[in-house]
Copies of this chain bind each other. A is one copy, B any other.
């Protein structure tokens, strides 16, 4: 086997642990210097490949690469950029091969979610369709937990731990003051199509009556009347009500909540946030004092409260990706395979990329209670192990410390640029 270089790139929204996967790919590849030469990283995902904007990770200090384990964001830059079909956009693929050839790339690792799996699948087909030999491995990452085949997605366990911890803490605050102040609290979380993150909020409720009391999933049509009746019932019984709401909840007509004609306090259609819309509905119908929070990027960047399990899995898929490439595999993705719930045991498997790309895994109906407002025991058994364990980052001056990479550009070898 001829020694060739590797190229690693990050794609889509970052997670708290995607850089742990990067560290695993780089450090594992360094152990195979007989087969893998330089490990390049593309700046801003596939865009860096197209524009030949590469970084030589060999120029980074070992301690900086190790520090990626506790650094959120995407250390080499990421992008949302989907390649078109080979037929309609042949020039893009020819360019990719040109860049690969110029830097003797024999291994390509694309670290991303569903859209990235599609990009990776297309590139993996270059070997056959355009005669360029490459081993293309998709490395799973997404806070949304919506990739098929793999039991869970690296990145999800940490956001799950963050939202469950945060809603539990906020709920204690609400409970302390409910009788004279805020009675309803709404936390909006990510997950536009799949309700996994919303479901994770439910982990905070470990016994009957504990918060959160209501979860609003994108998989369940939102009905204002049923919701309001439930809030009223819970406030009467418990004194307060805590709601975890997906940013992607839709009405029975399939429209996102922001388009359903719900109004703000001035009678205007509400824009920009499910949480304020829900909270305002409570105010209008029940005249109750409310508060709401929108976690947004805070949730997917919260490396300070990452799940140890998630971190281990993020590292494991990076390591496995290199092993797969060294075996000469192409068009594959390492997966997490669950062996048992309790004690939680898992191992690494392999999926064929064509079975992964462009498929979203939603919450199964039996993970959601019959009334649509909470998670079932079955769901809890699935989710619980994913948030287990802590792996705190180092702190400096009272704040989480992060890796600082040089990310110097590798001199270009091609005379031509590329217009995106």
Interface residues of A (CB under 8 A from B): 10, 13-14, 16, 44, 47, 71-75, 77-81, 161, 164-166, 168-170, 172-177, 179-182, 185, 187, 203-204, 206, 264-266, 268-269, 271-273, 275-276, 279-280, 291-298, 300-305, 307, 384, 387-390, 392, 395, 397-400, 402
Known: A180-B80, A268-B268, A279-B272. A175 touches B297 (CB 8 A): no
8 Å CB contact of A71 from B80, B165, B172: B172
8 Å CB contact of A74 from B177, B182, B265: B177
Say yes or no: B269 contacts A280, CB within 8 Å: no
CB of A144 to closest CB in B, whole Å: 15
Say yes or no: A168 contacts B80, CB within 8 Å: no
Which B residues lie within 8 Å of A390 (CB)? 392, 395
Nearest residue, chain B, Cβ from A303: B169
Identical chains in the assembly: 2
Say yes or no: A295 contacts B298, CB within 8 Å: yes
Nearest residue, chain B, Cβ from A400: B165
- C-alpha spacing A84/B175, complex, angstroms: 26
Of the candidates A44, A172, A275, A388, the one having the most CB atoms from chain B within 10 angstroms of its own CB is A172
Nearest residue, chain B, Cβ from A280: B272
- 7 tightest CB-CB pairs across the interface, nearest first? A73-B172, A268-B268, A387-B398, A293-B296, A74-B176, A169-B301, A170-B297
CB of A14 to closest CB in B, whole Å: 5
Say yes or no: A169 contacts B302, CB within 8 Å: yes
Known: A203-B398, A392-B392. A181 touches B79 (CB 8 A): yes
Of the candidates A165, A175, A384, the one having the most CB atoms from chain B within 10 angstroms of its own CB is A165
Between A and B, 5 residue pairs with Cβ closer than 8 Å are: A79-B180, A172-B402, A266-B268, A292-B296, A293-B294
Which B residues lie within 8 Å of A304 (CB)? 165, 169, 305
Say yes or no: B273 contacts A264, CB within 8 Å: no
Which B residues lie within 8 Å of A80 (CB)? 177, 180-181
Nearest residue, chain B, Cβ from A44: B179
Beyond A169-B400, A307-B398, 12 additional pairs, beta carbon < 8 A: A14-B173, A79-B177, A80-B177, A168-B402, A182-B297, A206-B397, A266-B269, A272-B280, A272-B292, A292-B294, A298-B298, A305-B305
